[in-house]
Amino acid sequence: MIQLTKPLALAADHGGYELKEAVKKHLDELELAYQDFGTLDGASCDYPQIAQPACNAVVNGECSLALLFCGTGVGISMAANKIRGIRACCCSDVFSAEFTRRHNDANALCMGGRVVGAGLACSLVDAFLNAEFEGERHQRRVNMLKDIEDAQAAL
C-alpha cells in the first residue's frame, strides 16, 4: 500500500452510502485515515453537492485522493470532473482502477453501489491506492488535460 501523507476524502450520495460504509471498514482495517464528507446517514441527497467538498479537499491539498460513491458511480464522476484539478474515473474492474492511477494520474476513484459489491469495491480501492503514476509519456497527456481545463477557464 502506498504511504499516504494526508487522509483520503470519502463522499457518497444515498445510492452509494452502503458501499462507502463497507469501504470505510476496509480502510479502518488497513489503518488508513480518511475524512467522510457525507452522506452520513444514507438520507436522499444530490451527488453534485456531495462530490464538491470532497474534491475541493483533494484540490486544496487537505486530502490526498478521493473515493466517491453513488448508485452507478457515473453521476458522481461527472460531478467530480467538473472541479478543476480533479481527474476522476468510474471503475468497476481492477485493471481500470489500477491503470487510471498509473497512466492518467487519477485522483478520484468513483464506484456505484448498485454496480459493484463490497468485496470488489475493496479490491478496486486496493488497486487504486497501490498504483503510482508512471509519468514519462503519460505526463504529456495529463498536461494536455490541464491545458483543456485552462482553456475552458479562460472562456
Strands annotated E in 47-130: 66-70, 88-90, 108-112
Q: pLDDT: is 135 or 60 the higher one?
A: 60
DSSP line for 50-85:
HHHHHHHHHHTTSSS-EEEEESSSHHHHHHHTTSTT
> In this model, does residue 142 exceed pLDDT 80?
yes
Domain ranges of the chain: 8-154
- Strand 34-36 vs strand 88-90: parallel, antiparallel, or unpaired? unpaired
What gap in Å lies between CA 54 and CA 79, rounded to an integer?
Answer: 11
Residue 34: phi, psi to the nearest 5?
A: -150, 160
Q: Return the C-alpha torsion angle 54, 51, 70, 22, nearest 10.
A: 10
The confidence score (pLDDT) of residue 1 equals 62
Distant-in-sequence, close-in-space partners of 96: CB < 8 Å, separation ≥ 6: 89
The confidence score (pLDDT) of residue 42 equals 87
Range 4-13 average pLDDT: 96
CA within 13 Å, CB half, 136: 4
| Nine cell digits for residue 48 | 453534485
Structure confidence at residue 135 as a pLDDT band (50, 70, 90)? confident
Range 106-113 average pLDDT: 98
Neighbours of 36 (CB within 10 A): 16
Range 9-24 average pLDDT: 98
- Compute the residue count for the chain: 155
Range 112-136 average pLDDT: 96
Catalytic center residues: 70, 103
Q: Whole-prediction pTM value?
A: 0.95
Percent of the chain with pLDDT over 90: 91
Structure confidence at residue 17 as a pLDDT band (50, 70, 90)? very high
Structure confidence at residue 35 as a pLDDT band (50, 70, 90)? very high
Just give the CATH number of 8-154. Answer: 3.40.1400.10
What gap in Å lies between CA 138 and CA 8, rounded to an integer?
Answer: 24
